[in-house]
Amino acid sequence: MKQIPVMSQWLDQLQTKGRYTFTVTQTESATGRSPIAVQAALRRLKKQKRIVSPRRGFFVLVPPEYRTVGSPPASWFIHDLMLFLEQPYYVSFLSAASIHGAAHQQPMVFQVVTNKPTREMHLDKVTIHFSMNSRVKQFPVVLKQTETGTMRVATPETTAFDLVRNPSEAGHLSNVVTVLNELAELINKNALAEIAPLVRIPDVQRLGYLLEVTGHAETASSLLLCLPKKLRPVPLLPGKATNALPDSRWRVVPNVKLEPDS
- Last-in-domain residue among 17, 36, 62: 62
Question: Do both 81 and 55 map to the same domain?
Answer: no
Question: Do both 105 and 25 map to the same domain?
Answer: no
217 within domain boundaries: yes
Question: What is the full per-residue pLDDT of the chain (262 aa) written as tens digits?
Answer: 444 447 888 888 898 888 999 999 999 888 888 889 899 999 999 999 999 999 999 999 999 999 998 899 999 999 999 999 999 999 999 999 999 998 666 678 999 999 999 999 999 889 999 999 999 999 999 999 999 999 999 999 999 999 999 999 998 899 999 999 999 999 999 999 999 999 999 999 999 999 999 999 999 999 999 999 999 999 999 888 888 899 999 999 999 898 877 6
- Last-in-domain residue among 62, 89, 104: 62
HSE of 55, CA atoms in CB hemisphere, 13 A: 17
Strand pairing of 110-114 and 126-132? parallel
Question: Do both 53 and 93 map to the same domain?
Answer: no
18 within domain boundaries: yes
Question: Do both 57 and 10 map to the same domain?
Answer: yes
Phi then psi dihedrals of residue 39, to 5 deg: -60, -40
HSE of 245, CA atoms in CB hemisphere, 13 A: 3
Number of domains in the chain: 2
Question: Do both 226 and 129 map to the same domain?
Answer: yes
67 within domain boundaries: no
Tell me, what CATH number does 48's domain have?
1.10.10.10
Q: CA nearest 202: which of 221, 184, 222, 226?
A: 226
Question: Do both 197 and 88 map to the same domain?
Answer: yes
Which domain, by its residues, includes 175? Answer: 74-253
- Last-in-domain residue among 25, 40, 62: 62
